[in-house]
Amino acid sequence: MAAPDDADERVLITADSLRDGSLIAAARLRAGGEAGGLLSDAEIEASLDAMLANHPPGEDVWLFGYGSLMWNPAMHFAESKPGTVLGWHRSYCLWAHMGRGTPEAPGLMLALDRGGSSVGLLFRFPAATARAELLLPWRREMFTAAYTARWVRVDTDTGPLRAATFVANRAHKRYAGRLTEAVIAAHLAVAKGSLGTCVEYLEQTLAVLRAHGRTDHRLERLDRLVLRASVGALG
């Protein structure tokens, strides 16, 4: 998520701040001149309604998370379990000028990009409460327009599931494309903002995957490179 750019004031993403709109309101205020590029509340809700219009009425909805949604869901769900999305891979392909970076020292955020596969966590929402609860991650991830919501296939130990998720918007100005691991690690090692550091984000993502007996070899390599970059910066 791209949140306010203020490295001196720690912002916490909670279900309450998403539900009452205070988190996004603060982000729009702090974005200043760039606030015009953020989606309105009505546009965010329209995006969610368009997704749910392509979902069978009365059926529970699954959401696939692959980054901070795994370790800070900030939403109420009935069930969660690991799964592997097909046709999309987890990639540090979005620049972060707010939240976990600044315009002067941008960080990088994870998104799903085309090709490959990615392990993550699935969250199930009962049909009766699905829209109300999905509005929270929708507000969190969609308000910058750097992500696009779509349905994907996710393989699980009990069979394939159809789930909503957030993929990189390749047309967005924050889309970084395919960067070398050295460049990614150099940015992750030093970037920080109001949500915390990019190092923290990486470590917590890896911790959740490990806790569920899963791994991401790209992230593991980046973790080692970031450690070297951090040591080099201290030296």
Q: Which sequence positions are flagged as catalytic? A: 141
d(CA 93, CA 98): 15
d(CA 191, CA 181): 15
- The crossing angle, in degrees rounded to 10, of helices 198-211 and 217-234 is 140
d(CA 137, CA 134): 6
Alpha carbon distances (Å) from 108 to 102, 189, 208: 10, 10, 19
**Neighbouring C-beta atoms of residue 186, cutoff 10 Å:** 18
d(CA 88, CA 207): 21
Q: Which tokens hold the place of 34?
A: 């760039």
